[in-house]
Structure 1
């Protein structure tokens, strides 16, 4: 069973209660101007903010 991690985004964690599998690839698709880049920026920020070791 893969290790899962929280997104750090409360609304997204409600939709994905078990989390996102580590070492996996996901595709985020949508129309122009729907917030894909903003969502990924927030996801990256949330994950990096919770890291124990520096990047």
Structure 2
């Protein structure tokens, strides 16, 4: 699989990831051990008034 070595390539402090495809989010989450979400969540997080 193209994602077989993904976990070893991520920085140790990486704890979230973003993608524009739900099926990619699922595969990336499974192979990396971290939670991947839709890029929409990142945009929302960055644009909410504080």
TM-score by length of 1: 0.30
TM-score by length of 2: 0.32
Structure with more strand by fraction: 2
Structure with more helix by fraction: 2
